[in-house]
Amino acid sequence: MTISSSKPCSWSATLEGGAFAHLEEAGLETFNYIECYYNRVRRHSALGHRSPEDFEREYYRK
């Protein structure tokens, strides 16, 4: 399973389905999902419905 192909709605199903052999593996994958996708790529209403990456890119262009 790759983070980029994950969707938030299927993430809990992946964890509940026993996709990980060890708790540490699930923890690392969860951390990567949150830090690499959820917090960076998803759109935030506080940023005008832009992702943090898009917001920063526009900010530094000005």
Per the CB < 8 A criterion, the answer to whether 42 and 50 are in contact is: no
- Per-residue confidence (pLDDT) for residue 32, from 0 to 100: 87
Nearest to 26 by CA among 57, 1, 55, 59: 1
Comparison of pLDDT for 16 and 3, the residue scoring more = 16
Q: Tell me how far apart the alpha carbons of residues 26 and 20 are, in angstroms, rounded to a whole number.
A: 6
For the chain, give the number of residues: 62
Q: Model confidence over 4-44: pLDDT tens digits?
A: 444 444 556 566 667 778 888 888 888 888 888 887 888 88
From the CA atom positions of the chain, what is the Rg in Å?
14
